[in-house]
Amino acid sequence: MKKSRAIITLLVTALLLGLLSYTAVCGLGAEQTGAAKNIKQGLDLAGGVSITYQVVGDENPSDSDMSDTIYKLQRRVEGYSNEAQVYQEGSDRINIEIPGVSDANAILEELGKPGSLYFMTADGAEVLNGEDIADAQAGTQRDQTMGNSQYVVQLTLTDEGAEKFAVATALAAPNHDIIFIIYDGSVISAPSVNEQITGGQAVITGMSSFEEAERLASTIRIGGLKLELEELRSNVVGAQLGSEAIKTSLQAGAIGMALVVLFMLVVYFVPGFAASVALGIYVGLIVVLLNAFDITLTLPGVAGIILSIGMAVDANVIIFARIREELATGKTVQSSIKIGFQKALSAIIDGNVTTLIAALVLGIKGSGSVRGFAQTLALGIIVSMFTALFVTRMILNALYALGLKDVKFYGVAKKKNAWNFLSKKPVFFALSLLLIAGGAVCMGLNASSTGDPLNYSLEFKGGTSTNVVFNEDMSIEELNEQVVPVMEEITGDGNVQVQKVSGGNEVIIKTRTLSLEERESVNERLSERFGVDTEKITAETISSTISSEMRNDAIIAVVIATICMLLYIWFRFKDIRFAASAVIALIHDVLVVLAFYAAARITVGSTFIACMLTIVGYSINATIVIFDRIRENMGSAKKNASLADIVNESITQTLSRSVFTSLTTFLMVAALFALGVTSIREFALPLMAGILCGTYSSICLAGALWYVMKTKIEGKKRGKA
């Protein structure tokens, strides 16, 4: 690269970094487009709208009907936000909380009134009802007669609905009879039947605009519920964590980033500077793209960003280690930079693609916070690969062209004698089994003493929602400082959530399920401490916000993601044992962190799923790096080389990468733990444990597992450990 081009490259990079920084802080234009403060935030960070529906005509709806209705509503309100929550209140009410919005009337108008839906013929014969409709979506398709594009509603029927509709349309098709769609007693559409419709897919044409098609589709979707609902009340609610929690989280993120930058500069010199600038561009791009893609950010989303920052640093560490290895062989700096990027490419791509596969599957198959986590993780992975492979490389080449050519600016890898990791595999295996068994014992003891193996939160177990009207307007910080301790003392549980209702002094307090005596105690204490009128205190039992269906969705998504990762690793490494070893190490990490949750009695809430998924992504990425080096060393090894020596050498060669990447990611999470409020610390602590566990399994278990499979399954040993 010529000096003139190098100068232009650095000027453009500086301009880009400045523009992204300005945009992230101030935004562009009158509406401050792209500013960090405009990122959509979840209920925990920003609050939103709370709408309560009541069942019509049935005072005692069945549990199965309520559960089915809640699940269907959950999937429908995800159109507003993946972080929307739907849960049961009392015996016949359903509460919907949608983050990031403040106009309850607009949501009610768009969402529609859940009511009865029927498909009927002109003579009054009922063809279908709401339960026969699986889905309805607005779309466009080409008119076969005119050739122009038209707006339509695409219906998907259940198996039973498909059979009934095939019979009805066969009778209606000869005369092009109309089948009326009736919602709450009113005709909302009257399409004629042109042909028999089989297969469970139907299309309604004749819409004048996409908005009209979307309104019809939304009405059909909301009408396809087992229960008829009517609006009971709607409120605007404040954030669950408050501005102080957001402020401290941002401070923690800034401190963590500063520590990472300092570490990169001290350890890697000029390459560390290039990586730090690229990391700054990465953060700016993430902020802008979160705005652009309208992604709702919550604590689980923060986990995805933290993981992607760790992977962005990881890619740079792999590259810089390779550069130093090339310099140690006597190559020039320019040649070492080029070869270092080339040799690091496969490990970076395999590690990131493996995690990206998991993110895509979770985004498609998951729901709620799982999908939100997947979105931020996928976005972070793509951006981190771009900054590591392109931005860092351009900056590094430009700095070299401007005269930073001395080897001392880059560092030279020192020759390290391979440590015999495989000789310790019985100890490592025994320690891992001991940790997992200890977790099982802890869960058993917890179950015998409390009835639950883990400390499940409101999101998993449900609880009591207490509405209190205070005599004065209290901020969310004051509520957390003054009211929450009172509730924690009564319940003996740290999992207390408070939300303010906009426009008054009403506050919603959510706790574990309270007994009658505890409810009376709450009334007395709030009256004594704050002068609250006990007549204005109401309490209702609420269900979990993470339904059994959502949990099943998450489990299925994780299983599919694991299988997809296994297949990808098998394809890339041409050896099923690499894939099997990686997955076993991954399962090991999940079980050990689960044991940590059980032993430390950390609350298992909505962030639990995100924490586990973060650990999965982190673990698989770290393992891939070691396997990539084993594959490379096997290809270049001498014929009489011991397989055990190859594995030990590979682990040793990647040891600094494993330690340094873990350290930088750990610093990010540790800053959150040190400065965050209680809920953030309970989120950060198991993540820290997962990072340590993932590092341990990658270094001590993954290679050993592959070696055992390789030697035992083939029946050949190329060397003893």
Q: Render pLDDT for 49-59 as a digit per residue (tens, 0 to 9).
A: 888 888 887 77
pLDDT over 90 (residue 232): no
pLDDT at residue 273 in the model: 95
Identify the pLDDT of residue 718.
Answer: 44
CATH number assigned to the domain with residue range 3-25+243-409, chosen from the 4 options 1.20.1640.10, 3.90.79.10, 1.10.10.10, 3.30.450.20 = 1.20.1640.10
Q: Which residue has the higher pLDDT, 114 or 494?
A: 494
Which of 54-68, 202-216, 559-573, 576-590 shows the highest mean pLDDT?
576-590
The four Cα atoms 435, 607, 349, 16 give a dihedral, to 10 degrees, of: -140
User: Can you tell me the mean pLDDT for 633-638?
Assistant: 86
Instruction: Label residue 670 left, alpha or beta by phi (over 0 means left) and psi (-120 to 50 means alpha).
Output: alpha
User: What does the pLDDT look like over 504-532, one tens digit per residue?
Assistant: 888 989 888 888 999 999 999 999 999 99
Q: Is the pLDDT of residue 460 over 70?
A: yes
Rg, C-alpha atoms of the chain: 29
What pLDDT does residue 44 have? Answer: 65
Residues in the chain: 721
CA distance 396 to 404: 9
Look at residues 447, 518, 510 and name the one whose alpha carbon lies nearest to residue 483.
510
* Equal fold, 117-229 vs 463-542: no
User: Mean per-residue pLDDT for 11-29?
Assistant: 88
At 714 the pLDDT is 60
- In the chain, pLDDT over 90 holds for what percent of residues? 36
Q: Does domain 463-542 have CATH number 3.30.70.100?
A: yes
Are the C-beta atoms of 180 and 120 separated by less than 8 Å? yes
Mean pLDDT in residue range 543-554 = 74
Each residue of 168-181: pLDDT tens digit? 999 999 999 999 99
DSSP element (H, E) containing 237: strand 229-237
In this structure, are residues 428 and 585 in contact, taking their beta carbons and an 8 Å threshold? no
User: What is the distance between the alpha carbons of residues 628 and 101, in angstroms, rounded to a whole number?
Assistant: 47
**CA 507 – CA 470 distance, rounded (Å):** 8
Residue 246 vs residue 57, higher pLDDT: 57
Count Cβ atoms below 10 Å from residue 56 Cβ, excluding itself.
13
Mean pLDDT of the chain: 85
Three-state helix/strand/coil letters over 409-451 = HCCCCCCCCCCCCHHHHHHHHHHHHHHHHHHHHHHHHHHHHHC
Q: How far apart are CA 693 and CA 697, in angstroms?
A: 6
Domain ranges of the chain: 3-25+243-409, 117-229, 432-439+547-714, 463-542
Task: Give me the mean pLDDT over the 113-130 stretch.
Answer: 83
Residues 6+ apart with CB under 8 A from 267: 660
Mean pLDDT of 188-193: 91
Distance CA 246, CA 288 (A): 18
SS3 assignment, position 142: strand
Q: For residues 609 and 598, give the distance between their C-alpha atoms in angstroms, rounded to a whole number.
A: 15
Q: How confident is the model at residue 558 (pLDDT cuts 50, 70, 90)?
A: confident
Instruction: Count the Cβ atoms, other than its own, within 10 Å of residue 480.
Output: 22
| Comparison of pLDDT for 180 and 47, the residue scoring more | 180
Domain over 432-439+547-714 is classified CATH 1.20.1640.10: yes
Give the separation between CA 562 and CA 552, rounded to whole angstroms.
15
Q: Compute the distance between CA of residue 549 and CA of residue 555 in angstroms, rounded to an integer.
A: 10
- % of the chain with per-residue pLDDT over 70: 91
Identify the H or E element spanning 36: none
Overall average pLDDT of the 142-169 stretch: 86
Give the confidence band of 716 by pLDDT, cuts at 50, 70, 90. Answer: very low
Alpha-carbon torsion, ordered 342, 345, 346, 350, to 10 deg: 180
Residues 188/219, Cβ–Cβ less than 8 Å: yes
pLDDT at 519: 92
Ordered DSSP codes for 367-384: -THHHHHHHHHHHHHHHH
Confidence of residue 720 (pLDDT cuts 50, 70, 90): very low
**The pLDDT of residue 246 is above 80:** no
pLDDT-derived band of residue 457, with 50, 70 and 90 as boundaries? confident
117-229 under CATH 3.10.110.10, yes or no: no
Least confident of 210-214, 306-310, 656-660: 306-310
